[in-house]
Amino acid sequence: MNMYIITGASKGIGFELAKQLSEAGEYVVGAARTDNKLDGVKFYQADLSELANLESLIHDIVASIPQGVESITLINNAGMVDPIGLIGAVHAAEMAKAMAVNLTAPMIFSNAFISKLENFKGKKRIVNISSGAGRNPYEGWGTYCTTKAGLDHFSRVIALEQEKAKYPVEIISIAPGIIDTGMQETIRTSSEDAFPLLDRFIDYKKQGKLVSAKDTAKKLISIIENESFNEIGPIADIRNF
């Protein structure tokens, strides 16, 4: 049996990952602000912007690992695109919250995951859900782009450090493409003043260019389960598979 820890497991890709993995008989632990109502998923209700609680949360999750688990995968999926706006016109509190959810929380989770499982001899993997926005600048997404770029570079550092570990953690930071989720709805309801590329994202929806969360999760699972996983990263794009 394999164990999966998924943040942002109540919506979008995270929900689909939890659902599909649970239905496949895997042991799935989900964490999110709202319950995902999925049978077979052990769920922890948590606001990932409340950073003081996160280390104890991942410690509790790791402490609950059942007997016979052969591999453990942490999927840092939770994220937010807000605040959308040109720098100079966004609220500091919103920037700080996005930094916490998109970057600091995955860093804390990964740090605790690596520490608590240092002597676990089975397969250990971290999958960070990144974005093309971390690799290309977009007007109006200063905070989002920065957090995803930080997540990518954090993943590079872990990959480098784990080369020296006795029981190394394998890691990738993967851009999942343009997906039909609530995040896309948030983008489409922004203003053109705040997000100059608004029309492009409205067209993605109109032209059917958005991939479903279900299909994206299915593809992500196939990548995670690939025997050559460690040769993929640390930086990847789902559209290359």
Distance CA 129, CA 135 (A): 13
Is residue 188 a part of any domain in this protein? no
Is residue 183 a part of any domain in this protein? no
Is residue 38 a part of any domain in this protein? yes
Q: How many domains does the chain divide into?
A: 1
- Give the CA count within 13 Å in the CB-facing half-sphere of 225: 14
Is residue 25 a part of any domain in this protein? yes
Q: Which residue, 38, 37, 60, 46, is CA-closest to 7?
A: 46
* 128 neighbors 106 (Cβ within 8 angstroms): yes
Reported as a single tens digit per residue, the pLDDT across 207-228 is 887 899 999 999 999 999 998 9
Is residue 207 a part of any domain in this protein? no
Q: Is the pLDDT of residue 18 over 80?
A: yes
Is residue 192 a part of any domain in this protein? no
Q: Mean pLDDT score of the chain, rounded to an integer? A: 94
Reported as a single tens digit per residue, the pLDDT across 77-100 is 999 999 999 999 999 999 999 999
Averaged pLDDT for residues 156-170: 97
Q: Is the pLDDT of residue 36 over 80?
A: no
Averaged pLDDT for residues 31-36: 88
What is the set of active-site residues?
Answer: 144
Give this prediction's pTM: 0.94
Note down the domain range covering 222: 2-177+213-240
Q: Which residue, 10, 89, 87, is CA-closest to 44?
A: 10
Is residue 18 a part of any domain in this protein? yes
* 176 neighbors 216 (Cβ within 8 angstroms): yes
CATH code, 34:
3.40.50.720
Is residue 115 a part of any domain in this protein? yes
